[in-house]
Amino acid sequence: MTELRITVQVLKVIRVFLARGLEDRTYGLQLMQLTGLKSGTLYPILARLEQAGWIISEWEAVKPSDVGRPRRRNYKLTGAGQAAGLEAMQEYRQLAGPTTAQPPRPRLTAWGLA
């Protein structure tokens, strides 16, 4: 596991994973829509989260011709990622203080995921 530098963008991604829980999987386009991050920002964050052991990823087991689209790479929060993510969110809240805005909440309800 590697140490992870926590930025506001990383917190946005972590917040989505924490809101979805340990058993839920999500793919890149969903994460882009939920966080508002562009692919050039999101995918390096996902790679760092995976290197740090906070998430795992795997290709979905479907034939592209059967589903009419390319296979998706699904990402899932690990137990260690959940604990570290909660700690990172708590540290952010303490550092930010009561007058600083929280990172935006993911728009899970817009996708019927809440």
Residue 91 covered by a domain: yes
Residue 66 covered by a domain: no
CATH number of the domain that residue 34 is part of = 1.10.10.10
Query: Is the four-CA dihedral 113, 20, 15, 29 of positive or negative sign?
Result: negative
Out of 3-7, 16-20, 78-82, 103-107, pick the least confident: 103-107
Binning pLDDT at 50, 70 and 90, where does residue 3 land?
confident
> Which pLDDT tens digit goes with each residue over 56-66?
999 999 999 99
Residue 102 has a pLDDT of 61
Residue 39 has a pLDDT of 96
Q: How many structural domains comprise the chain?
A: 1
Rounded-to-integer distance, Cα 47 and Cα 104, Å: 22
Range of the domain at 15: 8-61+72-97
Sheet of 25-27: strand order equals 25-27, 73-77, 55-59
